[in-house]
A and B are shown apart, each in its own frame.
Chain A
Amino acid sequence: MRHDSDKKEHFLRNDGVQTILASLLCIVLGLLVGYIVLLIINPGGAGEAILAIMKNFLYYPSAVAAKKYFGTTLVKASALLMCSLSVLFAYKVGLFNIGAAGQYVVGVGACLYLALAGGMPWYVCLIAAILVAALVGGLSGALKAYFNVNEVISCIMLNWIGLYCVNMLLSQVKEQSTPYTKSLSSTNKSALLPNLGLDKLFSDNEFVTLGLLLSVVMAVAVWVVLEKTKFGYELKATGLNKQAAKYCGMREKRNMILTMMISGGLAGFGAGIFYLTGIEQWMVQQTSVPAMGFNGIAAAFLGGLHPIGTVFSSYFIQHITSGGTYVDKTMYCTQISDLISAFIIYLCGFVLFFKLWLNRFLDKREEKRDREEQKGGEA
């Protein structure tokens, strides 16, 4: 007797459940590997160090301080969320936007330059960051659409070109004695994102701003666009099969460029809501693009490539990245968190196989049960 359709499906069959399970497994394995590396470096403090990474702001005994650093982690996570949405959006359309890092960088350049040299208010700076980053993203898209240039390689090249350009540009607004750009709060207060009273929730952490809310709104918006609109459907169709999309009358080249523009814009938005809080100044002698864009890849895949999932995964990645700064530095270095998140990305490559394996396992079990049921019926 075959299964009847009214019989409830095993809950492990649900794709969402499988995705969450896979992500949790990636996290556990990633942390385990981190722990083993710590053990190898110095067995004495490994347990303490991995706990410090996982505890992050809870490291502070006082509730006030912990709340404040929780706010800081959230602000960083919101920028990371935008980068991971950028990666996710492109990936859903079949493009691998490894250039989120570079688009983020040009976003930083645009918003800080306008804020510091132009004295513009925050909304102008934010929009500029989005537009410039969208242009850079769109460039990769256009190169792919018209010249068949692999987007991964063009993105990497643009990452470096963008970094050097931004360093040059921001050197004009740096402080005299340090390689850092001038601070927003002393140069142009109107460029700071409004707090909306959110800072009160986090023990007066002035970096918690409107940006935090906007990033979550963006996550929902990305979900709506991709899943609920004709536009999103067209983009995804183009990603699945370019020729078929063209045959159906979609403008596949335009779609590709638009995708990369939106993707770039999201990364630029992340740059805006992070740097316009005044939380960090740009170091104009930077020799590599910030890790934010690359961690975005980790967060996007860890979140099961679902916009809402990335909200949580971005927070997690940022949580352990920030937590890395609390390890005992006489024994370990903060990059241990980078190692863990890099390993998590690696593990995400196995998710498909994991699902396949799980389904096969469930199939086998059901088959066995069916056979036993049959036997029982005959007897």
Chain B
Amino acid sequence: MLLLMQYTLIFASVLVLVALGGCFSEHSGVINIGLEGIMVIGALGGALMMKYIPEGMAAPLVILLVILASVLLGMLFSLLLGVAAIRFKADQTLVGTALNLLGPAAAVVLVRAINTAESVDNVSSTVAYGAAKRSFIVNIGKFEFNWFMLVALLVLIASYIVLYKTRFGLRLCACGEHPQAADSVGINVYKMRYAGVLISGALGGLGGLVYITAGVSEWKFENGVAGFGFLALAVMIFGQWRPVNIGLAAILFGLFRALSNVYTGFDALVALKLPSTIYNMLPYMISLAVLVFVSGKSRAPKAEGIPYDKGAR
């Protein structure tokens, strides 16, 4: 039971972070389908930082550096979307999809290059980071507390405050609802949209890092992040683009994802004799079902997906 809770919380943290990233981007008016790719790049940044960090460094410093690496790389990668979608008015779905392909491909090429440079026979795309990963974990009894759970909670609270209680957040939302109106009162729509995309890059990158440190101590980059970026988008839609609801939705989805890891620990579930594949499929099936119920009356930002053109009327 404790194990289930632990996995639920860590997967929910991933989903919360990435979904909030998507939330910021969409509130500014840019659809970020590329979260999956951003996660991979963020994870890559974090994993490489953990690999090269000297042993024996103080834990808080390790955490800070690793987070910084994944956040910065995630932001940098999201700029590819930002520039194309905002400056060049590209089709956001197309560019987002390109990011999803570009992220894993770039990560595999880079990791393999590093591995091959270390030893010619090593053609795997795996990065191991067992030593550094221990800094993130505090054992409370049998419960493995991961600092990222706290980070996710803080980000959730911060997002709520930023989006609803600050001038910046309200302006950001205005740009996603009615950019022309926002522009007419002197808000720089382009700047706001860049801000939205960059925040989504930062949170997406961080989410990727949390995902690869959940439970394992090495990551094979050929696997990408197994559709988690899209699950996060489903969480965001389920949460109706509102931070608090997103938090609750993430816990629900996290629970189903966690089941596939720990279902063998429950006698009742083992007795059902379902193949493990069913549990692997569960989060995707649930999200499909959930989408059917909530998509009808969608509260999506009105102007999302439409490139802002000053001259258009």
Contacts and interface: CB of A to CB of B under 8 A. Distances in A.
Contacts of B184: none
Given A154-B288, A335-B112, A352-B89, A345 B97 contact: yes
Interface stretch (A55-63, A142-150, A252-260, A274-282): A142-150
A343 B98 CA distance: 7
B285 interface: yes
Given A153-B233, A157-B284, A335-B108, A143 B292 contact: yes
A346 B98 contact: yes
Contacts of A96: 93-94, 97
B88 A350 contact: yes
B105 A154 contact: no
Contact of B105 (A148, A160, A339, A350): A339
A160 B281 contact: yes
Given A345-B94, A352-B89, A156 B109 contact: no
Contacts of A42: 113, 117
Given A153-B237, A349-B91, A335 B291 contact: no
Interface size class of B (residues with CB under 8 A): 35 or more
Interface in B267-307: 275, 277, 280-281, 284-285, 287-288, 291-293, 295-296, 298
Where chain B touches its partner, the secondary structure class is helix
Interface in A261-320: 287-288, 294, 297-298, 301
Contacts of B101: 294, 298, 338, 341-342, 345
Nearest to A351: B90
B5 interface: no
Looking at A41, A161, A349, which has the most chain B CB atoms within 10 Å of its CB?
A: A349
B39 to A, nearest CB: 14
Interface in A329-358: 329-333, 335-336, 338-339, 341-343, 345-346, 348-350, 352-353
A143 B230 contact: no
Contact of A345 (B98, B224, B226): B98
Given A353-B89, A353-B90, A41 B109 contact: yes
Contacts of B99: 346
Interface string A35-57: 00100011000000000000000
B41 to A, nearest CB: 12
A123 interface: no
A244 interface: no
Contacts, number: 141
Contacts of A149: 288, 291-292, 295
A180 interface: no
B113 A335 contact: no
Nearest to A301: B94
Contact of A167 (B98, B277, B296): B277
Nearest to A289: B227
A136 to B, nearest CB: 12
B120 interface: yes
A350 B91 CA distance: 8
A157 B287 contact: yes
A165 B105 CA distance: 26
Interface string A127-170: 00000000000000001000111101110111111001101100
Q: Which residue, of B112, B125, B298, has the highest number of chain A Cβ atoms within 10 A?
A: B112
A152, A159, A331, A335: most-surrounded residue (chain B CB, <10 A): A335
B102 A346 contact: yes
Nearest to A155: B230
Contacts of A167: 277
A192 B284 CA distance: 34
Contact of B98 (A160, A288, A349): A349
A98 interface: yes
B106 interface: yes
Contacts of A342: 98, 101-102, 105-106
Given A148-B298, A346-B98, A352 B109 contact: no
Nearest to A168: B277
B72 interface: no
B69 to A, nearest CB: 19
A95 to B, nearest CB: 10
Contact of B292 (A147, A158, A160): A147
A164 B274 CA distance: 13
A158 B94 contact: no
Nearest to B36: A156
Contacts of B287: 153, 157
B109 A37 contact: yes
A70 B298 CA distance: 50
B234 interface: yes
B116 interface: yes
Nearest to B89: A353
B113 A333 contact: yes
B60 to A, nearest CB: 33
Q: Which of B106, B109, B112 has the most CB of A within 10 A?
A: B109
A148 B288 contact: no
16 contacts: A147-B295, A147-B296, A153-B291, A157-B234, A157-B284, A161-B285, A288-B223, A332-B109, A333-B108, A336-B109, A338-B105, A339-B106, A342-B105, A346-B99, A349-B95, A353-B89
A-B CB proximity, top 4 nearest: A349-B90, A346-B98, A342-B101, A345-B98
Interface of B: 33, 80, 84, 88-91, 93-95, 97-99, 101-102, 105-106, 108-109, 112-113, 116-117, 120, 123, 125, 222-224, 226-227, 230, 233-234, 237, 275, 277, 280-281, 284-285, 287-288, 291-293, 295-296, 298
Interface of A: 37, 41-42, 96, 98, 143, 147-150, 152-154, 156-161, 164-165, 167-168, 287-288, 294, 297-298, 301, 329-333, 335-336, 338-339, 341-343, 345-346, 348-350, 352-353
